[in-house]
Amino acid sequence: DQNLGGHAYAIQYTTDAPHWGGLSGCTFEEAISWGKEAPESPRVQCFCDATIALPIVASGLIGSGVERARRPSRSPQ
């Protein structure tokens, strides 16, 4: 059992509401109880189709100058 404290922040785009019982509508409170999210982490839920939400978020990130972190090289040295 390894407790890493959960993610530092969370964003959820979903078309499903939790009251219908669908897994994609899982609440952040459940994720906190499972240890997947840190209790003090900032969280945002957007009840919207991803084909609408993701282009808006990507455009905002590109416009703000946020750069993608580079992955470490996996090639043998």
**One-letter amino acid for residue 46 of the chain:** C
Burial class of residue 43, CB neighbours in 10 A (0-12, 13-18, 19+): middle
Write down the catalytic residue from 36, 41, 45, 46: 36
Our answer to whether residue 9 is catalytic in this structure is: no
Closest CA to 6 of 23, 22, 28: 28
Which are the catalytic amino acids?
Answer: 36
